[in-house]
Amino acid sequence: MGQIVIIDDEYSIADALARFFQMNGFAVSTFQNPVIALDFIDKNIDNIDLILTDLVMPEMSGQQVFQKIKNDYPYLPVIVISGKATASDAVTMMKEGVYDFFIKPFDNIDKIILIAKKAIEWKETKKENLDLKTKLSESTVFQRLIGRSKKMLQIYELVEQVAPTKASILITGETGTGKEEIAEAIHKLSQRQGKLIKVNCAALTETLLESELFGHEKGAFTGAIKTKLGRFELANGGTIFLDEIGEVSQNIQVKLLRVLQTKQFERVGGEQSISVDVRIIAATNKDLLEKIREGTFREDLYFRLNVIHIHMPALRERTEDIPLLVKYFIDRFSKDHQRQIDGITPKALKFLMAYSWPGNVRELMNVIENMVILTKETILDIQHIPQNIVNEVTKKADFIINDEPEEDIIKIKAGISLEEVEKIYLLYLLNKYKNKAKVAQITGIGRKTLYNKLEKWGIIPDKNDQE
Ligand SMILES: Nc1ncnc2c1ncn2[C@@H]1O[C@H](COP(=O)(O)OP(=O)(O)OP(=O)(O)O)[C@@H](O)[C@H]1O
Ligand SMILES: [Mg+2]
């Protein structure tokens, strides 16, 4: 475990806090001068877990300390401790991302330890995520794949891990979720010398598929005028991508099973067994387990294919990726179609984020391309969105078209107590209306209760606040 840095110009406070943290098993460094503290943090960053800083100090304010940390080390939590903070100070700091703040003198010092522990846990996950993001954005293989949601990051990580092995992979997911893109990424990262050969198993009749996969000998059937190599032979040393594996007939399933088990097969009309070294990736948007229950898909083949399973999430399960994808496709299609489109309005983006996207990324891509081509303006807006999307979204009861500014959304970290939530919310309202009577009315808690709460939290009202 790393250490906590405490910055307070008042020696007695810094010292008392330090002792308290040490008693609870933490390593602590204290500073009275924030400038020196920041220098220390830079030099020892790998060993620092948390910063506690006073707000008002002569050399620089706690807020400036926080800004500097946020800029250089965004994963490092900062807790502000202050002798006097107004509601608006507190709200501004929480909004900007200060982990928490405490008013001196501390009425509940054990609580500080608890919050410090939570802050350190938060740092660990945040840092892991940031490290992963940096690593992934450096990898060119993933640059084609837009999406940095947790679900997608987990997929990229799994892909990196399994790509170099020879294990068979089954990729499942709705249509348009990027199964083929992931198969390509796996092949590239596998560094297998051979090619990636793709076969769409749904596009061919059974006979054609068989000869496509395994090849045929001259004269094997009418029209087989010369020997033809199958896809498995072409993929030797590389990877075969069996798309829409759920559509394959029973007869071919048996043959595929044999290739998976023995790496051997015969060309159609041929006697001689051919051996290949091929990595198999299969994909489907069907529910194979359901097909096994129906008796149309072999269970043994399923287990052979499904050594590693990658499930691509539907776009509606990772809506946080929609803004990135929208921006990416606007840029791409404005270039392709030589249009000058600068972006999309927040309201239109909200619509796109609320839509269910049954066709996933492919559908989003087509919608944006259409919007880019059809609009005469430079910013995409609601009126450019296809009617079926507008209809579906406006029908949803929980989607209220909200013209209030974004700042009315208060973000709350999961894992804090109800009292903290109450504190953040009340401070937010106080800061917004600067009127206690109004805040009491909105929240329905009564003015007296509100005063008591503020007093308990040690909040000093702004001079300009109305009672
Ligand atoms: N994360 C992504 N970033 C950028 N483009 C993507 C992403 N995911 C998918 N696409 C694009 O969306 C389209 C559909 O992707 P892909 O063909 O891989 O989907 P699929 O899951 O194989 O769909 P289907 O089941 O219909 O075959 C492709 O043009 C692909 O380039
Ligand atoms: Mg596909």
> Does the Cβ of 383 fall within 6 Å of ligand 1?
no
The DSSP symbol for 241 reads: E
- pLDDT tens digits, 365-406: 999 999 999 998 999 999 999 999 988 888 764 554 444 444
Selection from 129-143, 218-232, 428-442 with the highest mean pLDDT: 218-232
Phi and psi at residue 10, to the nearest 5°: -90, 110
Measured from the alpha carbon of residue 246, the closest ligand is 1
54 and 152 in a single domain? The answer is no
Tell me, in angstroms, the distance from the centre of ligand 1 to residue 157's CA: 18
pTM: 0.65
In the block, residue with structure tokens 């970290």: 413
298 and 150 in a single domain? The answer is yes
Query: Would residue 12 count as lying in a domain?
Result: yes
220 and 260 in a single domain? The answer is yes
Q: State the angle between helix axes of 346-354 and 387-395 in degrees (0 to 180), rounded to the nearest 10.
A: 80
Tell me, in angstroms, the distance from the centre of ligand 2 to residue 189's CA: 19
What is the rounded average pLDDT of the residues 211-215?
A: 95
Ligand 1: atom nearest CA of 183 is 18
Measured from the alpha carbon of residue 182, the closest ligand is 1
Domain at 336, CATH number: 1.10.8.60
Tell me, in angstroms, the distance from the centre of ligand 1 to residue 427's CA: 45
Do residues 185 and 142 make contact, with C-beta atoms less than 8 angstroms apart?
yes
- pLDDT tens digits, 114-154: 899 999 998 888 888 787 777 766 677 777 888 888 899 99
Tell me, in angstroms, the distance from the centre of ligand 1 to residue 114's CA: 45
338 and 379 in a single domain? The answer is yes
- pLDDT tens digits, 59-75: 899 989 999 999 889 89
Please identify, among 69, 95, 130, the residue that sits at the C-terminal boundary of a domain: 130
193 and 284 in a single domain? The answer is yes
**Residue 86 above 90 pLDDT?**
no
Ligand 1: atom nearest CA of 177 is 21
301 and 152 in a single domain? The answer is yes
Instruction: Indicate the pLDDT class of residue 315, thresholds 50, 70 and 90.
Output: very high
306 and 321 in a single domain? The answer is no
Ligand 1: atom nearest CA of 328 is 4
Beta bridge partners of 305: none
Domain at 72, CATH number: 3.40.50.2300
> Does the Cβ of 179 fall within 6 Å of ligand 1?
yes
Q: What percent of the chain has pLDDT over 70?
A: 93
Tell me, in angstroms, the distance from the centre of ligand 2 to residue 177's CA: 8
**In a 10 Å sphere around its CB, with 0-12 CB exposed, 13-18 middle and 19+ buried, how is residue 371 labelled?**
buried
Query: Would residue 33 count as lying in a domain?
Result: yes
Do residues 157 and 310 make contact, with C-beta atoms less than 8 angstroms apart?
no
Please identify, among 311, 329, 351, the residue that sits at the C-terminal boundary of a domain: 311
Angle at 405 between CA 80 and CA 334, to 5 degrees: 110
Please identify, among 311, 335, 359, the residue that sits at the C-terminal boundary of a domain: 311
163 and 301 in a single domain? The answer is yes
Q: How far apart are the first and last CA of the chain?
A: 47
Lowest mean pLDDT of 29-38, 77-86, 366-375, name the range.
77-86
Tell me, in angstroms, the distance from the centre of ligand 1 to residue 313's CA: 12
Query: Would residue 135 count as lying in a domain?
Result: no
Mutate which of 328, 362, 364, 367 for ligand 1? The one with the most ligand atoms within 8 Å of its CB, which is 362
Instruction: Indicate the pLDDT class of residue 420, thresholds 50, 70 and 90.
Output: confident
Under 8 Å CB-to-CB from 147, ≥6 apart: which residues? Answer: 318, 321, 324, 325
345 and 419 in a single domain? The answer is no
Query: Would residue 64 count as lying in a domain?
Result: yes
162 and 295 in a single domain? The answer is yes
Give the Cα separation of 161 and 216 in Å (integer). 37
What is residue 402's predicted lDDT score, i.e. its pLDDT? 47
Q: Which residue has the higher pLDDT, 326 or 86?
A: 326
> Does the Cβ of 365 fall within 6 Å of ligand 1?
yes
What is residue 439's predicted lDDT score, i.e. its pLDDT? 87
What is the rounded average pLDDT of the residues 188-211?
A: 93
250 and 223 in a single domain? The answer is yes
Record the tokens describing residue 172, joined without a space: 């499942």
Query: Would residue 461 count as lying in a domain?
Result: no
Q: Which residue has the higher pLDDT, 110 or 51?
A: 51
Q: What percent of the chain has pLDDT over 90?
A: 60
**How large is the C-alpha radius of gyration of the chain?**
30
Instruction: Indicate the pLDDT class of residue 461, thresholds 50, 70 and 90.
Output: low
Q: How many domains does the chain have?
A: 4
What is residue 397's predicted lDDT score, i.e. its pLDDT? 47
- Using DSSP's 3-state secondary structure scheme, residue 277 falls into coil
**Residue 436 above 90 pLDDT?**
no
Query: Would residue 189 count as lying in a domain?
Result: yes
Tell me, in angstroms, the distance from the centre of ligand 1 to residue 64's CA: 44
What is residue 408's predicted lDDT score, i.e. its pLDDT? 60
What is residue 373's predicted lDDT score, i.e. its pLDDT? 94
334 and 258 in a single domain? The answer is no
What is residue 404's predicted lDDT score, i.e. its pLDDT? 46
- Mean pLDDT of the chain, nearest integer: 88
Query: Would residue 373 count as lying in a domain?
Result: yes
Range of the domain at 373: 316-395
What is residue 213's predicted lDDT score, i.e. its pLDDT? 97
Mutate which of 152, 171, 180 for ligand 1? The one with the most ligand atoms within 8 Å of its CB, which is 180
- pLDDT tens digits, 248-284: 999 999 999 999 999 999 999 999 999 999 999 999 9
Query: Would residue 44 count as lying in a domain?
Result: yes
Take atom 16 of ligand 1 and give the residue whose Cα is closest: 178
